[in-house]
Structure 1
Amino acid sequence: MCSPEESLKRLEEVFSATLARINSLILQPLVEAMWLCPCPAPEPSDPQGRECLRLLQQLHQSSQQLWEVTEESLCSLEERLRHPDTVGLESLLLLRDTNHVLQVYMEYIESYTSCVVVQAFEKAAKWRRDYWPGQLKALRKILWGLSTHGKVGTSLAQALRQPLTNHVQHYMFLLPSLGDTIEESDPARELVVHATTCFEDLQSFMKQALDQAVATQALWDTLSSKLRVALCTPARRLLQDSQDVPVTVTPLPVDRVLLFDDVLALLQGHSVHTFDLKLIWVDPEQDECTFRLLTPEEEFFFCSRDPQDQVMWWYKVTQAVCQALRGKKDFPVLGMGLEHAKTPSCRSTGAYTFLAEGRLCQATYEGEWCQGRPHGKGSLKWPNGQNHVGSFCQGLEHGFGICLVPQASEDKFNCYKCHWREGRMCGYGICEYGTDRVYKGYFQEGLHHGFGVLESTLQAPHPCKYTGHWKRGQRSGYGIQEDGDRGERYIGMWKADQRHGPGIIVTQAGVCYQGTFQADKMMGPGILLFEDDSLYEGTFTRDLTLLGTGKVTFPNGFTLQGSFVTGVQKGLHTQGVLDTAALPPDPSSTCKRQLGLGAFPVESRWQGVYGPFRDFVRAGCPGAMQEALLGFHMQSLKELRKSEQDLCSERTPPDDSVGRMEDILEEVLQHREPKALQQCLRKALSSSLHPLGKLLQMLMLTFQATYAGIGANKHLQGLAQEEVKQHAKELWAAYRGLLQVALRRKGQAPEEEEDAETRNLQVHGLVLPLVLPSFYVELFTLYLLLHETEDRLYNQGITNLSLFPDTKLLEFLDVQKHLWPLKDLTLTTNQRHSVVRDKCFLSATECLQKIITTMDPREKLEALERTYEEIEATVSRVLGQEQKLPMDDLLPLLIYVVSRAQIQHLGAEIHLIRDMMYPIHTGGLYDFLLTALESCYEHIQRNDMHRLLSCRDSREFR
């Protein structure tokens, strides 16, 4: 009696020989029959013929692979039988690679059943009718019991199926026998059990696949040619037919329902409506006779009089949808192990083109779905070229997204990179318009709303830029507009897209206007400041031409009051009174006139910037609002980076540097001590991923839009100075808001509201030094322009004083001679050698020069304090004892140090320190020292300093 292994070997030998005969006697002639058709083309010319040829070639290839794997199995059995002591059972291909063997068998079954569905055997047999009758004797050797009176196609199908079916049955008999010969402890026993189970499943799968193929092939004969052409594909299998299990569909008028493994087909007459199973949602809730189906555009109900029929349809549809989503046929049989499966609510599947009328008509969506609606990441594409890629919620654009909208002109698109809410732009976004303009700012219900910047591109023929507030798509509120063609900047109020209310115009030529606008036109009286500090008060035209009654005040104090007329090519005509008796005006009332201070309260200028941050904090800093607030520095832009290439892309790994709101609030909560708080604020303000950093960036943008370029005008220094202080207040309020949110999330009591004095000290002492560097360039430029005249006189005095040696200058300044350091002094360890020519009070001079190396007013004052200390330390070393100098001695020495330090714009530095200094220092030591420095500055400007120049060649200085 043969052993199970020998029986398996014999079985594989027989099956291998049978496969070889099938290939040579059936499959090869079938393929050749298709190639050697009577038509002159090298392959069948009709589509059905070409499809049959493809399927037969595929079956031939699958049969070849099946023969190869059988040969491998046979070789492993022979090796085992030759060397039973050294080669274990686990070396058998059937045991060590069962899954691979099963895959080959399943591919053959799939190829075979596809041929059955489209009757490929019958069609191929017709091409060579004279060949097959002579092969019946050979076919009997392959398949015993083959009827010689049956149809050739049916006989061929049986000959290609029966050997495989018999072979699998023999496996199911021999593999358990092989397992009986193995001890329980042998690891190979597990492999045998696994292989046995797999081939049992294969037998079930084969039976199901064959039954489905036969039922599907029979279905095509019952349908009209039009329906058959619309539905018949080789891979499609019929799962359920309403003619077998009755069901009705409401509210759609349907004659017949066909459930396939990839689509649900509803037939009405000769028309058919198919639904992709991947885009069908089966409601898990059902009553006795009804259940609901959802599709991207329709909702309908399956109804049946018999509850069992209704349950059958619900079960079959549910399992078919689950199978379609997995992308492969169930193994071993449809629905096994899935009795309680439900169609997933959320899924990522293929494309769908909307057909119903509406905004999505003809649009194709590809991405994530939920309950029949686009939901999650996805893309929409319209035939006209419009595209949207981003996040969706219940069928509407919701979250970050990129949208391209074609314009009427060729190759022009509007590109929207925005946040969306319920299908409309809402939150922060960037829009690049086909009209060569770019908008960066906030939206509401699809319109510009809140703060935003609309700017023309570099290629635009008429450059312009608006930075300010919007209301429902129109400029409204406080805003800055720069007109490149006219060379002017408007700073002021807007309404309904027009200048309306108080406003300032600054021109490139240095001319400034302040007055009232109505419907984009100047109305009523205003003031006009010319570059030479002349002042006109009265009315004039839009191009700032004097017209009507007015008064001109000249820099020398003269006034001209009367009526002004400007004629075409005739210049300015006036009739009035010229007053030359007035005294010269105070310089502070002419060149230092400041515009806009009363017209635009600083608290209300940039509410469109502060507002979204206040709302964010007031709402408790929800993560859903964070990205809309910060723009797209977050993960969304990274996830959609490829979408700018083809508007549908792979996801990229998340950026670890992206700040999560939970981490931000935790950091705020953990760093509340003064030193830690300063470092925490410094880090936050330097990051665009932090709400405070983003707010500071936007405030910098508004500051530059107002005061850089054309706006660098000395008459705007007051506006700029109070704006910087207000920004510091708002940033501190934003920090306090974040802290209160962090405390509430931790269940802790919120901190008490600060009193005005405490808040003021924190703003000036902690926040202002941190934010001032962000505005320093534009702000200090305004100080330079405002104090240009004084600094020019001061610099001339410094230049003249630098011509004289130390002793002459000290004597002129009435410095007592016993205080003069006339010999080289030993420098302390914190001092360095200098390139300054003069050696007297060198350490003090170097300390004072450090004022220009920092932007922090407090650090500038500390440098000034160290300057005083170094002066006294130098005098103490000269006298050999500690010496506290009275002001009468200290002031001349300070003037000497200031002259040798040669700080170019000392007046601008002094006034910036005075305006931005810590309020607690007012009236204290720093205030006293700054006052002394101001006195030195004024002394160097005064006329009596020129006495030194007139006397330098006299005997007094020889």
Structure 2
Amino acid sequence: MSLVELASLLLRTEETFSAYLARINSVILTPLLQSGSFENLDLFLRLNEHFHLLWDLTEESCRTLKQSFGSPECISVQDFYLIWKADLFLDRYIQYFSTFASFAVVQGFEHAARIKSEVWKSHKPALQQFLADFSLDASVAVALHMVLHKPFRDQLQQYTLILSKLQGSPGQCPENETISYASNKFAKLESFVRQVLDEAGLTRGLWKSLGHKFTDVLRIPERRLLEDSQNLAVLSSTGRSDRVLLFNDILVLIQGSSFQSFDLRLVWVEAAGRDAGKCAVRIITPEEEFFLLAKDAKAQAVWQWKVNQAVRQALNGKRDFPLWCGDGEGSDPLSCRHFSFTFRAEGKLKNAAYEGEWCLGKPHGKGTLMWPNGRNYVGDFKEGLEHGFGICLIPCASGDCYDCYKCHWQEGKMSGYGICEYGNEMVYKGYFKDNLRHGFGILENPSSAKGPFKYTGHWENGKRSGYGIWDDHERSERYIGMWHEDQRHGPGIVVTQSGGCYQRMFHMDKMVGSGILLLEDNSVYEGNFTPDLTFIGKGKLTFPNGFTLEGSFANTSSQGLQTQGILNTAGEQQDEQMCKLQLGQKEFPVEMRWEGLFSQFQEFIHSGCHRDTEEAFMGFHVQTSKELRKSQEYLFCQRENEEVPVKVDILEELTAHQDQGTLQNYLEQAFQNSLHPLGKLLKMLSLAFQATYSTTGASRHLLTMAQEEVKHYAEKIWEFYLGLRRLALERKGGPCPEDPENSELNGPNAILPLILPCFYPDLFMLYMLYHEKEDDLYCQGVVELSQESDVKLLEFLDVRKHFWPLKDLTLTKHQRRSLVKDRCFLSATDCLRNLITTVDPREKLDILQKTYDEIAKTISRLLGEEFNPSMDDLLPLLMYVVTRARIQRLGAELHLIRDLMDPTSSGGMHDFLLTALESCYALIQKEIQYHQSWHASQNS
């Protein structure tokens, strides 16, 4: 047939079909809608809507074809609305027949036939005539069913016939592919309609055969029966009397008068193992696992395939086209899914609602778990258990607050680093193991009813054990020492805010044996004493003036402290060793103090520095309670237009910084970056250091402990850096780095100046307290010497006159050179004052070098030739500059430089200049001591 003849045939077909639709609308649909409310009216309204959409589409097809016949010689495939709008035709017919099938499943036509309204009765004659035209001799219900689907199926057959003739017409045209596509789709549509109606018939028959107890609960319009164990035998492993029903959305097991249903979106199907029998299908659901036992391999294969395809279609939210043989045929559903489910079975998750990712019937991936009592968890899961990072809120017993846990989890338990904010305002930041505090951690309660406290140290199985620091704010004292089972146990040091300090052995929180008590007036007591620091038993008391009292001490409420012993007044002033006695080095070896903190970073390196485990080992940003809760609320929300921070691969970065020049810059940036492992480690160490030595812990008797601790930090950080670098080079396939001993880089000495600013304020305070007496004496000397004019001071210090830069002085007419002060060696004086502006010992030594250079430059200008002063010449000149610089805590500065300077500077120019400055410091003290002795002798 020619294209014109086929177009004419299609037009006649469309016109005839449109006329049928008009009659159906006037005789059946309109009267039913006018009859008023009836059962399943909403579904009937949807059917009526899809009917009119089809009718409109048919009318549009007619209009397009009629327009084309205005010029028959110009008719083309483009005039066939059926072809170039094939997908729209398919959608309209699929929607119509799907809704029609749903209406049939719920026996909508039977209910419609029984309508008793006058409107419906008045249209009965017209309906009977209409049915007679269709040659139908059946009940009204059956007639309605036939009239509302048979003409549509006949029309589809006509479409398929016309398309096949058009496809087989002679000649080739560019639209052949489009025609072939439309023809193929309409052939599938016919198969789809047939299958949809067959499924509807089977489902309708099932609802009639089941009792109302099942039907009332299970029957919904869109639900279709896909397989029945009465048709294809299969039994459930939960009981041999089961009937198994597979629907398009649920799997149902009927046992007597009860049943179980399983949402297919949360059903996993696997081939059964040998122990379950040869012909079994394994079914996995969130709360139950069972087998479908078939009689033979064929039945097993059919059930496994059908359940898998039903699950896949349920997850996709649509049926295949056509059913059972669509594009997804043979493909299994994804093992990992996202869905919501409420647990009902007994156990930890009873009544908990979970929304998130699943795998093989268990929460796996990211999700949210909420209990009715308000408890909830947002985070990572693995095989049904909390695993990875997560935030958990647990309501307190009072019900008006929550305990907030932001932690890492392992197999359902807190494990790794976490921050916990409790409802009573107590906060813990540290490591967990099996839900208990374990490893390094900080517990603080700033507003406890029993008194605010803070503990920084090690934990074991939820209790304080090992080395730790306890701040008792109520008693204003700090305990530094060993713990066991939440009790002070082993050697310990107690520092009071008033300045007292003692070292003692403890056994289960009680002091035992003798100890050392350092009093505020610099007296030292060695012996036994009570918790309120009262002497008792044998002991020795050494006074600041060197007198000693050794004997037996007792305390009675009526007579106070009593003693029997020997008072030795022959001793001289108490020596420096006793006055500045240092505590703790032997009792708490520096390598053992924060072993639990360093071990986490070592484990991170040994684990390969995987980024997904980094926070579990090294912690994360400290947040407030409000931020913790907010981070939980938005943890997994998709937010548009929000930049996600990109994590830098630290190992990749490390390989680009191997020479000394770029290494220092890299380390500086790493220490300042709170996300870098080295930055996190430094932050942890600074918290531990502050907890030990700041405020209450600022005791001069702890200086050596603090000093060796800072040096140890530098060594450990360098060790971790080398471990990271070694791992980075191994990953990249490069050569392994040299050992620290053989490396040109002096690691710990390069690290120390970079980390010192974090510890400097507290460390320098200890230096000031330790050298307080000498600095006070030095300051008195500087004050007295500073009163002298430049001329008198230079003369007093025995500076050679040809070194006096007096010609640099510019005097007014009212000034005399002999009275002018602070005008000589100004550049050197200003330079030396910069000593207090830096914390780096290297920079302090550089400042001292510049001061020397300025002195030499001034003398060279006076002499007119280059001059390098010897020690004999330099010392008086430097004493003049030191006096005019008026640096208050020079002794603390000098000792800090000497203790922390790079050992490679020993014997060099820096060492020479530092020795000269130390000599000036000592000479100024001796000068004031001489003056004080002279005045004392004159007064006597």
Q: TM-score normalized by structure 2?
A: 0.91
Tell me the distance in 1 between the aligned counterparts of 2:597 and 2:675.
Answer: 16
Tell me the distance in 2 between the aligned counterparts of 1:626 and 1:606.
Answer: 20
Q: RMSD between aligned alpha carbons?
A: 3.3
- 1:467-546 alignment runs, 5 A limit: 467-546=456-535
Letter in 2 for 1:397: E
- Name the structure 2 match of 1:364: 353
In the TM superposition, what is the alpha-carbon distance from 1:852 to its structure 2 partner?
1.9
Q: State yes or no: 1:103 paired with 2:94.
A: no
Residue of 16, 25, 28 corresponding to 1:26: 28
Q: Secondary structure at the match of 2:655?
A: helix
After superposition, give the CA deviation of every residue in 1:560-589 in whole Å (9 maximum; x if it has no partner). 334444455875444544433321113453
Tell me the distance in 1 between the aligned counterparts of 2:763 and 2:636.
Answer: 45
In the TM superposition, what is the alpha-carbon distance from 1:514 to its structure 2 partner?
0.8
In the TM superposition, what is the alpha-carbon distance from 1:520 to its structure 2 partner?
0.7
Tell me the distance in 1 between the aligned counterparts of 2:11 and 2:886.
Answer: 105
- Name the structure 2 match of 1:351: 340
Q: Secondary structure at the match of 1:665?
A: helix
After superposition, give the CA deviation of every residue in 1:910-951 in whole Å (9 maximum; x if it has no partner). 111011011112233222211111111222333459979x99
In the TM superposition, what is the alpha-carbon distance from 1:393 to its structure 2 partner?
1.5
* % identical aligned pairs: 51
Letter in 1 for 2:259: V
Q: How many residues align?
A: 918
- Name the structure 1 match of 2:817: none
Q: Secondary structure at the match of 1:233?
A: coil
Tell me the distance in 1 between the aligned counterparts of 2:196 and 2:914.
Answer: 96
Tell me the distance in 2 between the aligned counterparts of 1:56 and 1:270.
Answer: 33
Larger deviation, residues 787-796 vs 432-441: 787-796
Tell me the distance in 2 between the aligned counterparts of 1:183 and 1:806.
Answer: 119
In the TM superposition, what is the alpha-carbon distance from 1:141 to its structure 2 partner?
7.5
In the TM superposition, what is the alpha-carbon distance from 1:764 to its structure 2 partner?
4.0
Letter in 2 for 1:540: F
Residue of 154, 169, 194 corresponding to 1:166: 154
Tell me the distance in 2 between the aligned counterparts of 1:71 and 1:798.
Answer: 110
Q: Secondary structure at the match of 2:35?
A: helix
- 1:331-342 alignment runs, 5 A limit: 331-342=321-332
- Name the structure 2 match of 1:767: 751
In the TM superposition, what is the alpha-carbon distance from 1:29 to its structure 2 partner?
3.1
- Name the structure 2 match of 1:832: none
- Name the structure 2 match of 1:734: 720
Letter in 2 for 1:110: S
Q: For the structure 1 residues 199 and 698, does the alpha-carbon distance in structure 2 shift closer, same or farther, using more than 3 Å as the test?
A: same
Residue of 624, 629, 632 corresponding to 2:617: 629
Tell me the distance in 1 between the aligned counterparts of 2:892 and 2:130.
Answer: 107
After superposition, give the CA deviation of every residue in 1:594-620 in whole Å (9 maximum; x if it has no partner). 221221111110001111112222343
Q: For the structure 1 residues 25 and 910, does the alpha-carbon distance in structure 2 shift closer, same or farther, using more than 3 Å as the test?
A: farther
Tell me the distance in 1 between the aligned counterparts of 2:200 and 2:351.
Answer: 35
- Name the structure 2 match of 1:699: 685
Q: Is the 8 A contact 1:224 1:270 kept in 2?
A: no
In the TM superposition, what is the alpha-carbon distance from 1:81 to its structure 2 partner?
4.8
Larger deviation, residues 937-946 vs 264-273: 937-946
Tell me the distance in 2 between the aligned counterparts of 1:703 and 1:652.
Answer: 42
Q: State yes or no: 1:320 paired with 2:307.
A: no
Q: State yes or no: 1:895 paired with 2:879.
A: yes
Q: For the structure 1 residues 656 and 868, does the alpha-carbon distance in structure 2 shift closer, same or farther, using more than 3 Å as the test?
A: farther
Q: Is the 8 A contact 1:354 1:363 kept in 2?
A: yes
Residue of 226, 233, 247 corresponding to 2:213: 226
- 1:273-284 alignment runs, 5 A limit: 273-284=260-271
After superposition, give the CA deviation of every residue in 1:397-446 in whole Å (9 maximum; x if it has no partner). 21111222233222233222111111211111112223332211111122
- Name the structure 1 match of 2:814: none
Tell me the distance in 2 between the aligned counterparts of 1:647 and 1:381.
Answer: 15
Tell me the distance in 1 between the aligned counterparts of 2:717 and 2:53.
Answer: 73
Tell me the distance in 1 between the aligned counterparts of 2:353 and 2:631.
Answer: 16
Q: For the structure 1 residues 600 and 872, does the alpha-carbon distance in structure 2 shift closer, same or farther, using more than 3 Å as the test?
A: same
- Name the structure 2 match of 1:930: 914
Letter in 1 for 2:155: H
Q: Secondary structure at the match of 1:907?
A: helix
Q: Secondary structure at the match of 1:192?
A: helix
Q: For the structure 1 residues 769 and 647, does the alpha-carbon distance in structure 2 shift closer, same or farther, using more than 3 Å as the test?
A: closer
Tell me the distance in 2 between the aligned counterparts of 1:484 and 1:260.
Answer: 68
Tell me the distance in 2 between the aligned counterparts of 1:667 and 1:646.
Answer: 31
- Name the structure 2 match of 1:307: 297
Q: For the structure 1 residues 598 and 478, does the alpha-carbon distance in structure 2 shift closer, same or farther, using more than 3 Å as the test?
A: same
Q: Secondary structure at the match of 1:319?
A: helix
Q: Secondary structure at the match of 2:183?
A: helix
Q: For the structure 1 residues 6 and 878, does the alpha-carbon distance in structure 2 shift closer, same or farther, using more than 3 Å as the test?
A: farther
Q: Secondary structure at the match of 2:97?
A: helix
Q: For the structure 1 residues 536 and 737, does the alpha-carbon distance in structure 2 shift closer, same or farther, using more than 3 Å as the test?
A: same
Q: Is the 8 A contact 2:386 2:413 kept in 1?
A: yes
- Name the structure 1 match of 2:816: none
Gaps of 5+ in 2: 811-819, 936-940
Larger deviation, residues 399-408 vs 322-331: 399-408
After superposition, give the CA deviation of every residue in 1:273-311 in whole Å (9 maximum; x if it has no partner). 111111111114688632222222322222222332222
Q: Is the 8 A contact 2:601 2:617 kept in 1?
A: yes
Tell me the distance in 2 between the aligned counterparts of 1:940 and 1:513.
Answer: 34
Letter in 2 for 1:841: F
Residue of 277, 282, 294 corresponding to 1:292: 282
Tell me the distance in 1 between the aligned counterparts of 2:756 and 2:68.
Answer: 85
Q: For the structure 1 residues 77 and 784, does the alpha-carbon distance in structure 2 shift closer, same or farther, using more than 3 Å as the test?
A: farther
Q: Secondary structure at the match of 1:702?
A: helix
Q: For the structure 1 residues 121 and 825, does the alpha-carbon distance in structure 2 shift closer, same or farther, using more than 3 Å as the test?
A: farther
Q: TM-score normalized by structure 1?
A: 0.89
Q: Secondary structure at the match of 2:148?
A: helix
Q: State yes or no: 1:207 paired with 2:207.
A: no
Q: Is the 8 A contact 2:502 2:517 kept in 1?
A: yes
Q: Secondary structure at the match of 1:584?
A: coil
Letter in 2 for 1:842: L
Q: Is the 8 A contact 2:891 2:921 kept in 1?
A: yes
Larger deviation, residues 128-137 vs 774-783: 128-137
In the TM superposition, what is the alpha-carbon distance from 1:468 to its structure 2 partner?
0.5
After superposition, give the CA deviation of every residue in 1:218-262 in whole Å (9 maximum; x if it has no partner). 110110111111211111110001111111121434431100000
After superposition, give the CA deviation of every residue in 1:105-128 in whole Å (9 maximum; x if it has no partner). 322222222111111222233232
- Name the structure 2 match of 1:373: 362
Gaps of 5+ in 1: 36-43, 827-835, 952-958
Q: For the structure 1 residues 91 and 378, does the alpha-carbon distance in structure 2 shift closer, same or farther, using more than 3 Å as the test?
A: farther
In the TM superposition, what is the alpha-carbon distance from 1:476 to its structure 2 partner?
0.6
In the TM superposition, what is the alpha-carbon distance from 1:12 to its structure 2 partner?
3.9
- Name the structure 2 match of 1:846: 830
Q: State yes or no: 1:908 paired with 2:889.
A: no
Larger deviation, residues 19-28 vs 727-736: 19-28
Q: Is the 8 A contact 1:143 1:163 kept in 2?
A: no
- Name the structure 2 match of 1:441: 430
Q: For the structure 1 residues 711 and 640, does the alpha-carbon distance in structure 2 shift closer, same or farther, using more than 3 Å as the test?
A: closer
After superposition, give the CA deviation of every residue in 1:822-866 in whole Å (9 maximum; x if it has no partner). 23499xxxxxxxxx9834222222322222222211111111111
- Name the structure 1 match of 2:393: 404
Q: Is the 8 A contact 2:188 2:321 kept in 1?
A: yes
Q: For the structure 1 residues 647 and 739, does the alpha-carbon distance in structure 2 shift closer, same or farther, using more than 3 Å as the test?
A: closer
- Name the structure 2 match of 1:423: 412
After superposition, give the CA deviation of every residue in 1:456-502 in whole Å (9 maximum; x if it has no partner). 15576631111111111111100011112111111100011110000
In the TM superposition, what is the alpha-carbon distance from 1:653 to its structure 2 partner?
9.5
Q: Is the 8 A contact 1:140 1:146 kept in 2?
A: no
- 1:115-126 alignment runs, 5 A limit: 115-126=103-114
- Name the structure 2 match of 1:831: none
- Name the structure 2 match of 1:954: none
Q: Is the 8 A contact 1:436 1:460 kept in 2?
A: no
Q: Is the 8 A contact 2:444 2:453 kept in 1?
A: yes
Letter in 1 for 2:29: L
Q: Is the 8 A contact 1:424 1:446 kept in 2?
A: yes
- Name the structure 2 match of 1:745: 731
Q: Is the 8 A contact 2:269 2:284 kept in 1?
A: yes
Q: Is the 8 A contact 2:131 2:143 kept in 1?
A: no
